[in-house]
């Protein structure tokens, strides 16, 4: 096939992250989330609803007698766990953990059926019913996650037991689903297998897997609609009959290449788009690539919160429509922002445009890591931009907007997704194309990269995102000139770049500064980006943010919390020209830059608690001065529960 | 018992409304809604879902064989119709309509069981199951409506067939429900019977009916909770288990006398409060009266929209919490505002305080009559203060907010409620206490009132609400001095009052101007209230209205509609000192005062459709001038569907 591949990420093991910001989170994922999840998968967490995940595999293998337990997609939990484990092993070998994972893989594979089938829900509930509800029963979704876990584990350890088993399962699926007559012309209700199959193709080089991925994309939404026929044939329930999006919930309302708007379940959407980008870059399919660009544009430029959150509505956990970004009835699932990062890194793999890195960075530093408490013990599915505890408690429309992160759920989705993302952070930082190394993210650490002319290795020193100074020290480099392409973030308005002590004016294209040079060991590249606090406005088409500003510093979105500023945050105003002081508080949840500014609060002078309406001429608003303390959004809800807001009124 | 009765309303037939504003609406109810509803009750409306209402009575009487059809509260539809018919007969005798109503009553009474029971749902579904789900099956609700219809029909025509039948039904209920051992210690899930029983007491003078009303109020919410026991005993479903309000949905979360906040289903709440006020005024029960004042205060001073709408959330059609008044996800059911008027007139019956009249007027001129299209053919259940058609279509949270009024439903609630209210407008305008006549509302027409010293009769000429001039011409009066008490509306800041051509300074107490005099025939009382356009602010505790104003003129709330002002109404600003021009457009849906003002629109200069966020320093907002046209809120959605807003941003 005709690849449209521009750059590849570096192997995760070649990117050693050492800087506190990300390393702390990665360690939290490795030392807290992964072990906790293993206990959860085995129903050993006191007080938590059982997962049944491993028990299902034991039962499916005939080792114990038990009914299927948990959600229809319960198998995917161990798959995500395995994937996170695999990534962690790439940067933190742990023979004991590897042994546990090997055992889990043995348990999984033991449940495999003679024809390769491997989904415990149908093994335990009747194999005759398999493939009768692709729309809602997540078989292909679980398979997708299993493939991702198997590929990662193979890459981490060289062990291919699960990979081989999954190849057999894919072959079994291939026999039942596909374009040929007599096969089901189906595709998954919850996407992910598309990108998983491309990864399987990448490690096995077997084109049939890429073909199957492409088939799932091409068949999706075609008329007559498979999901509709399947629903009729098997008497399945169609959950979205009363919705406005109907089959668009599954991104199946029309053929993928015709889709103009990000629509339906947000996680599914960005998982699909990621798979489409994968297939586009591996096949050079231009209309698929155009589809990606169009859907990318609609997603990030018309339907994305300033935190990188996507999915405006809890109903269907879905997109609503362009510029509809309510801050309080929001969904903005952690997993959806993770999926957006998947989409972004794939778009970067096709074309090096800073906007992809900008969105990735926005999601990573804000709406994704807000999903986990600093102790790694509790999680947000929903990441609101405005919270009023009384609303969350008493208004059903806001009941899904939690004021505190929740403990692990029986059906856990976001926590293991966060774990696999954090453990693979290295995969998002760099891209290699021939003799060019792209730096998408500034992570402190040590990295080596195989360029066409040879290996380059270097140290990165930075306090990013707390300041914009990045010092890259070359440890070794090929003697031939190579190119370092540094992303100049979209938030940055002023920077200096020095190479070996000399200020240079780099060639900047599409958000990357290109420096071509025969680098010598010991040479330093120093990028100094000014990082003042900035007030941010939303497009006037975003009704919810009119008359409001958000506060950002570098890639970090700030918020006001009740713990610092009292309640009634909806009554806080800042001046459009307000200035901020900043100080780094090393003790604040691992260290964070804290901002302070003047502000005003709409007073209730002239109003008693029992007067709802007055004439403006008799009760014109008055304001009282108030000192405001701003913390990074991702750190909200680590203290006493209370109000929080990102968008603040401006005078 | 020790009555705490202050004033009584006038008989509806003694208040002849002739002024266009209300007479037109009353005629619409009489000539359009009542005949249409009778067709609906008999399943003769092509294209509409059948009501089954009269069919149920025919089947219950054994005249035809048919299963019960429609909602569990279907009987109440004909009851509401009969009540509206009765009121209309009081001011527009119509032998043909009366004959139809007599026939309907024959059909209803024919279904009555030997022991008096008369609810077609259980007659057709098994009498052994009656009184097993007081919580949700609306037996007592239907009975309440039947009583109200029967009393009104008796008052209109002197015919007591239905009244007698209903007395027998109440006696049957009394045998099954009550404080005595062996009886069910229950009360209705949907209130209304409380106020109905007081009306029955008022016409029959039988104290047992008042006692039963009081029992229902006193028993409600007592521990152990009847609804909880009933639910367990009969395996009923409890719909609100996952809500925050639980049994408070039914105002049964605690004893009525302990209730501090308006909570739960808004219509049920104000129907209960109305019944409580009735029992309080008929028994002189001070703690019940205190409860009314407390719940009144919470309802109208903390949970009421500027239009007189109540019920902030569609979930449970319910109140949420103090100062939570979202304009877009609102419920504000027409029936709830009607119930608020019931509550207000009863409070006025206990104590003449202008605030009750103010709220009554606010609801009547805004959030109630907005419920009906000008042609009387379509109806809003939900009366939003902000509508974005795309939101209503694509955002499930706003799906209940309709952009256009809906045709009659199979289970119609608001339309017949509107009909019975409009046809009884006269009952809300006046109150008599000894030699004092209170004028609560200014309706053009001719009225006679029996005062202690004799009858007073007078003409009222006014264009209210379009101007504040009210001219009362005495036609006849007792020779002794009597008192006219004119409500000076809360909106009024300046007025002059002349009696027989001389300006007087009246004694004003609690919102009423008292004029005591031996009035002579031909004398005029002229009240001239200045009615400038005013900008209104909401209490700063109302988050949704911060930085916004509403426009009012007299009692009328105005709005901006897309038909006049284009879309993007959320981007419209007015200046806090803006001035308005006004002109009366006689052709605009029966005639209305139209306002015009200058405004500004937040421009999208500097923003393309594909940019969501920019620095304030680089994309500070710009505004363009825009002429604004304001129409009365109650007339919205009579033209092409589009955006509408009441609260507008202010600079």
Phi, psi (rounded to 5 degrees) for A274: -60, -45
Nearest CA in chain A to B619: A537
Tens of pLDDT along B347-398? Answer: 999 999 999 999 999 999 999 999 999 889 899 999 999 999 999 999 999 9
Regarding beta strands B436-439 and A502-504, do their DSSP bridges make them parallel or antiparallel, or are they unpaired? unpaired
Shortest CA distance to A293 belongs to which of A246, A326, A337, A257? A257
B207 is annotated as an active-site residue: no
Integer Cα distance of B362 and B555 in angstroms = 6
Nearest CA in chain B to A246: B394
Q: Please report the pLDDT score of residue B412 as a whole number.
A: 75
> Using CA of residue A562, residue A567, residue A571, residue A572, what is the dihedral sign?
negative
- Indicate yes or no: CB of B534 within 8 angstroms of CB of A616: yes
Same domain (yes/no): A418, A494: no
Residue B503: Cβ within 10 Å count: 10
Same domain (yes/no): B481, B502: yes
Is residue B81 within a helix (H) or strand (E), and if so which, with residue range? helix B75-91
Same domain (yes/no): A372, A235: yes
Beta bridge partners of B585: B592
Option in A397, A613, A650 nearest B315 (CB): A397
Nearest CA in chain B to A316: B396
- Mind telling me how many Å the CA of B598 is from chain A's nearest CA? 17
Question: Which residue range is the domain that position A561 belongs to?
Answer: 533-650
- Indicate yes or no: CB of B609 within 8 angstroms of CB of A390: no
B139 is annotated as an active-site residue: no
- Indicate yes or no: CB of B616 within 8 angstroms of CB of A535: yes
The DSSP code sequence of A226-272 is HHHHHHHHHT---TTTTSSSGGGGGT-SS-GGG--S--SBHHHHHHH
Same domain (yes/no): B583, B642: yes
Option in B302, B315, B549 nearest A612 (CB): B302
In chain A, which residues have their Cβ closer than 8 Å to the Cβ of B316? Answer: 396
The gap from C-alpha B170 to its chain's centroid, in whole angstroms, comes to 26
> Using CA of residue B306, residue B312, residue B316, residue B318, what is the dihedral sign?
negative
Q: What is the pTM of this model?
A: 0.96
Q: Residue B153 falls within a domain, yes or no?
A: yes
- Indicate yes or no: CB of A537 within 8 angstroms of CB of B614: yes
B533 and B551 Cβ atoms separated by less than 8 Å: yes
The gap from C-alpha B295 to its chain's centroid, in whole angstroms, comes to 16
Tens of pLDDT along A137-194? Answer: 999 999 999 999 999 999 999 999 999 999 999 999 999 999 999 999 999 999 999 9
Tens of pLDDT along B70-87? Answer: 999 999 999 999 999 999
* Sequence-ordered list of residues with C-beta below 8 angstroms from that of B636, at least 6 positions apart, any chain: B370, B559, B561, B644
Q: Residue A3 falls within a domain, yes or no?
A: no
- Mind telling me how many Å the CA of B368 is from chain A's nearest CA? 19
In chain B, which residues have their Cβ closer than 8 Å to the Cβ of A612? Answer: 300-302, 304, 306, 538-539, 542
- Indicate yes or no: CB of A538 within 8 angstroms of CB of B613: yes
Identify the CATH number of the domain in which residue B466 sits. 2.60.420
- Indicate yes or no: CB of A315 within 8 angstroms of CB of B546: no
Option in B315, B603, B616 nearest A396 (CB): B315
Nearest CA in chain B to A532: B615
- Mind telling me how many Å the CA of A298 is from chain B's nearest CA? 8
Phi, psi (rounded to 5 degrees) for A512: -120, 135
Option in B315, B399, B612 nearest A538 (CB): B612
- Indicate yes or no: CB of A540 within 8 angstroms of CB of B313: no
B307, B540, B580: best to mutate for the A interface, most A CBs within 10 A: B540
Q: Residue A1 falls within a domain, yes or no?
A: no
Option in A306, A315, A602 nearest B613 (CB): A306
Same domain (yes/no): A524, A561: no
Integer Cα distance of A16 and A91 in angstroms = 7
Q: Please report the pLDDT score of residue A2 as a whole number.
A: 64
Catalytic residue among A413, A423, A492, A559: A413
Q: Please report the pLDDT score of residue B3 as a whole number.
A: 76
- Indicate yes or no: CB of B535 within 8 angstroms of CB of A615: yes
Q: Encode burial over B122-133: b for 16+ CB neighbours within 10 A, e otherwise.
A: bbbeeeeebbbb
Integer Cα distance of B447 and B431 in angstroms = 12
Catalytic residue among B413, B414, B423, B492: B413
Same domain (yes/no): B373, B476: no
Beta bridge partners of B509: B512
Q: Please report the pLDDT score of residue B411 as a whole number.
A: 67
Shortest CA distance to B489 belongs to which of B538, B554, B548? B554
Q: Residue A405 falls within a domain, yes or no?
A: yes
Question: Which among B393, B410, B428 is the end of a domain?
Answer: B428
Interface size, chain A vs chain B, as Cβ–Cβ contacts under 8 Å: 181
Question: Which among B394, B411, B428 is the end of a domain?
Answer: B428
- Cα B177–B179–B180 angle (5° rounding)? 90
Same domain (yes/no): A334, A214: yes
Option in B537, B550, B615 nearest A621 (CB): B537
Same domain (yes/no): A519, A634: no
- Mind telling me how many Å the CA of A302 is from chain B's nearest CA? 6
Shortest CA distance to B71 belongs to which of B151, B169, B163, B145? B145
Q: Residue B305 falls within a domain, yes or no?
A: yes
Q: Encode burial over A162-198: b for 16+ CB neighbours within 10 A, e otherwise.
A: bbebbbbbbebbbeebbeeeeebbbbbbbbbbbbbbb
Give the helix, strand, coil percentages of chain B, each rounded to 5. Answer: 40, 20, 40
Nearest CA in chain B to A551: B615
In chain B, which residues have their Cβ closer than 8 Å to the Cβ of A241? Answer: none
Identify the CATH number of the domain in which residue A121 sits. 1.50.10.10
Q: Residue A317 falls within a domain, yes or no?
A: yes
Catalytic residue among B98, B317, B333, B600: B317
Same domain (yes/no): A270, A296: yes
Q: Residue B3 falls within a domain, yes or no?
A: no
In chain A, which residues have their Cβ closer than 8 Å to the Cβ of B302? Answer: 609-610, 612
The total number of structural domains in chain B stands at 3
The packing angle between helices A75-91 and A139-157, to 10°, is 20
Block residue for tokens 């990573």 = A364
Q: Please report the pLDDT score of residue A573 as a whole number.
A: 98
- Mind telling me how many Å the CA of B307 is from chain A's nearest CA? 11
Shortest CA distance to B651 belongs to which of B567, B594, B572? B572
- Indicate yes or no: CB of A543 within 8 angstroms of CB of B388: yes
Tokens representing residue B602 in the block: 């937040």
- Indicate yes or no: CB of B537 within 8 angstroms of CB of A313: no
Question: Which among A428, A458, A476 is the end of a domain?
Answer: A428
- pLDDT below 70 — which residues of chain A? 1-2, 409-411
B405 and B372 Cβ atoms separated by less than 8 Å: yes
Same domain (yes/no): A405, A504: no
Nearest CA in chain B to A311: B395
Same domain (yes/no): A627, A490: no
Same domain (yes/no): B112, B163: yes
Residue B51, CA distances (Å) to A426, B85, B138, B335 in order: 65, 18, 17, 19
Residue B413 has pLDDT above 80, yes or no: no
In chain A, which residues have their Cβ closer than 8 Å to the Cβ of B616? Answer: 534-537, 549, 576, 650
Q: Please report the pLDDT score of residue A4 as a whole number.
A: 75
- Indicate yes or no: CB of A397 within 8 angstroms of CB of B397: yes
A261, A572, A612, A618: best to mutate for the B interface, most B CBs within 10 A: A612
Block residue for tokens 């505002």 = B337
Q: Please report the pLDDT score of residue A411 as a whole number.
A: 67
Average pLDDT of every residue of chain B:
96
Tens of pLDDT along B162-172? Answer: 999 999 999 99
- Indicate yes or no: CB of B316 within 8 angstroms of CB of A396: yes
Q: Encode burial over A340-358: b for 16+ CB neighbours within 10 A, e otherwise.
A: bbbbbbbbbbbebbbbbbb
B69 and B136 Cβ atoms separated by less than 8 Å: no
A260, A540, A575: best to mutate for the B interface, most B CBs within 10 A: A540
Q: Please report the pLDDT score of residue B562 as a whole number.
A: 98
- Mind telling me how many Å the CA of A125 is from chain B's nearest CA? 30
Q: Residue B1 falls within a domain, yes or no?
A: no
Beta bridge partners of A35: none
């Amino acid at each position: 096939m005709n690849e449209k591949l521009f750059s590849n990420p570096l192997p995760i093991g070649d990117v050693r992250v050492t800087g506190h910001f990300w390393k702390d989170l990665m360690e939290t994922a490795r030392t807290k989330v992964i072990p906790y999840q293993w206990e959860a998968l085995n129903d050993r967490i006191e007080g938590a609803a059982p997962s049944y995940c491993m028990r299902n595999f034991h039962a499916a293998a005939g080792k114990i007698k038990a009914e299927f337990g948990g959600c229809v997609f319960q198998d995917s939990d161990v798959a995500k766990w395995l994937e996170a484990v695999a990534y962690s092993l790439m940067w933190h070998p742990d023979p004991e953990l590897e042994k546990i994972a090997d055992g889990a893989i043995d348990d999984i594979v033991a449940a495999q059926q003679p024809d390769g089938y491997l989904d415990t829900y149908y093994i335990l509930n009747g194999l005759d019913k398999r493939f009768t509800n692709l729309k809602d029963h997540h078989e292909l979704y679980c398979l997708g996650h299993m493939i991702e876990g198997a590929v990662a584990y193979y890459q981490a350890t060289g062990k291919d037991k699960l990979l081989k088993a999954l190849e057999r399962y894919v072959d079994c699926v291939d026999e039942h689903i596909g374009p040929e007559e007599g096969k089901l012309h189906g595709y998954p209700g919850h996407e992910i297998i598309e990108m998983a199959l491309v990864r399987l193709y990448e490690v096995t080089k077997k084109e049939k897997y890429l073909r199957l991925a492409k088939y799932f994309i091409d068949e999706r939404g075609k008329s007559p609609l498979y999901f509709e026929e399947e629903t009729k044939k098997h008497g399945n329930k169609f959950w979205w009959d009363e919705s406005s999006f109907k089959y668009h919930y599954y991104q199946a309302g029309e053929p993928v290449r015709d889709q103009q708007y990000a629509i339906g379940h947000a996680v599914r959407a960005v998982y699909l788009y990621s798979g489409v980008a994968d297939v586009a870059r591996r096949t050079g399919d231009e209309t698929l690539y155009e589809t990606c660009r169009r859907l990318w544009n609609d997603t990030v430029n018309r339907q994305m919160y300033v935190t990188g959150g996507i999915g405006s509505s809890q109903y269907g956990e879905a997109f609503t429509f362009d510029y509809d970004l309510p801050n309080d009835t929001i969904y903005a699932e952690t997993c959806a922002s993770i999926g957006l990062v998947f989409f972004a890194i794939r778009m970067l793999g096709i074309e090096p445009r800073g906007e992809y890195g900008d969105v990735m960075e926005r999601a990573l530093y804000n709406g994704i890591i807000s999903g986990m408490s600093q102790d790694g013990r509790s999680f947000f599915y929903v990441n609101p931009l405005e919270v009023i505890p009384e609303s969350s408690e008493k208004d059903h429309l806001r009941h899904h907007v939690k004021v505190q992160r929740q403990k692990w759920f029986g059906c856990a989705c976001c926590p293991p997704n966060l774990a696999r993302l954090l453990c693979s952070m290295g995969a998002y930082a760099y891209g290699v194309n021939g003799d060019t190394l792209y730096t998408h993210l500034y992570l402190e650490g040590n990295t080596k990269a195989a360029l066409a002319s040879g290996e380059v290795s270097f140290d990165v020193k930075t306090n990013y995102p707390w300041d914009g100074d990045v010092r890259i020290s070359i440890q070794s480099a090929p003697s031939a000139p190579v190119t370092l392409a540094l992303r100049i973030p979209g938030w940055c308005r002023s920077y200096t770049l020095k190479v070996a002590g000399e200020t240079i004016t780099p060639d900047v294209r599409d958000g990357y500064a290109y420096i071509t040079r025969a680098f010598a060991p010991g040479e330093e590249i120093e990028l100094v980006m000014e990082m003042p606090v900035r007030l941010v406005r939303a497009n006037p088409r975003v009704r919810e943010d009119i008359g409001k500003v958000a506060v950002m510093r570098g890639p970090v979105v700030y918020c006001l919390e009740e713990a610092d500023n009292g309640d009634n945050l909806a009554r806080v105003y800042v001046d459009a020209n307000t200035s901020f002081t900043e100080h780094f508080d090393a003790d604040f949840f691992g260290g964070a830059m804290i901002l302070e500014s003047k502000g005003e609060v709409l007073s209730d002078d002239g109003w008693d608690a029992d007067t709802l309406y007055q004439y403006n001429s008799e009760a014109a608003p008055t304001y009282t001065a108030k000192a405001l303390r701003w913390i990074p959004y991702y750190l909200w809800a680590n203290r006493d529960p209370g109000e929080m807001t990102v968008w603040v009124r401006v005078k």
